[in-house]
Structure 1
């Protein structure tokens, strides 16, 4: 296959992953604001989309971690990167279908690691960097966000003790709009950069950029646009899980959860840690749930999420390894991976249409019995 055609295919696939990242992770920023009534669903995803786009321009440190920190750019090839992306996209679609807020970032890492390892050997993977920049932050970040969310919620309820609930809810709903916006900005800063890093890695491996280069402007613009479009569509299945399935949040808890998550994500982006915004936001929500008045966390849902988190990297690595090895065999392999990947993606989408989840599913609890629940439209 012509090198230019292959690079074009890889770039388009990377942007497709970025798109799935957007609708998969919309819930991270907006689930709590939607569930507490601070923002209407469509307004929430529109605001999040704009801020994700703006966030993509704030930093490139995470992109450099991806393009030069995980795998050896001198050994990797565009075909293998294509296989790794295929593994990440399929895992994203599968977890979206079952409504599990797993990590798009770790799906990407797993896909790339598996594809590079099976094609070029263990020395093509920078294990030390993976532990330092990915695995340790993956363990620490949700715990830190959860602790901050718990403390912030506990303090908030004690400061507002004696204040009428109506006034507290109204005030913190306005605060949630600001904190949700900050999470969206942080998400664009951290997650859009991962696709920038993959595209940059592809250009380096093809000889179009020198090793250690940062992403060109067109890469930043296209990655930011793709994640913003995906965010606007709204991943309502996962929003339902985070907004209602994990714990029922009041406005002060939602504000505390989002603020703690945004703080952790922005700090890690500045340091170049490619952590999972899903893990961080989920940790913040659990912490806020435990710090509230009822301390009601649905641990069965949390356990399902934890299992998905553990499986994400190895599952995506296995699919990435198979797809990467097939793609490295030549034109037929690339076409085969593309055909199988598209068929599986279409199958998951058609299956999702049988049990549609739209914005109304997330906000059903906001309507009083006297008001008819709006028709559930599919997003």
Structure 2
């Protein structure tokens, strides 16, 4: 009887949760009055600080979170009422079991369907991931609310006795959401990186600044980072930003390797160097402003650009043959693959000697790179 009743409850909650998810705009929730904050945040212990914020308050989550919390709270109250009426002496374990089922089989599955939707965009994916983080944190409130209604001491809920297994499930689903979000971000960045094919790889004069495509890339990265920093936990922010920077680095190297780039000269390399400097500045800024700098074990975001940076450094080095020295290679070129180095260096062309009179003289290095290629092949 109790299983049948709870199946009916679960079915009703499934419909209500699906409606909530379908009608959400997936934008950060704005609360203009204290009562709204009490109703949507304090009621479910979703706040990070004990101080009442200034209004209007912009939450890191969308309307989905408090709406789903209300549905879960209602489920808990209905479950407790039914089991208490049935004369069960110790029914917290039963309530917890059904609650875990609701959070795992209904709420979590509905969120995962959203994440796996083929029409999902970057902004929605990021907001859903942020919502998942908050809903996972709300599991403490759900367990406490159930315990209170069942007359269970709160100290027991804080231990293994009262923990909800759904919390682990929701945490694992966050990883899926973060992976999906990063995949979508990379896809968007690919649109900008296609413009690298428009670069003049054999210019007769050095560029005054970076290449045009990078303006769009930086604007997109700044917008992405600003939103991610507001709503995602630090580890998720790190994963997304480091992932996209590494992807950009890979794209730059892949462009140099591609058949579309037949040859290039030092001025083109200097243009890529200018691009990387801007990207590295962005990485440093976000590493410091986000708090990653103070996070134990975190790696500077600039390191995500290592492969592209090191190939540019090699192409502009006065002694590229030092790449063959194991100590120097480990210290300065550890991200480089020998086969890629050979393919890229083969495309390098010195500037015509007649051009050396134009401003700064650039020493020919084709012979040095040819020598490096020969010795790498011999190895």
Which TM-score tier does this pair reach, normalised by the shorter chain? Answer: under 0.3
Higher helix share: 1
**Bigger Rg, which one:** 2
TM-score (norm 1): 0.25
TM-score by length of 2: 0.25
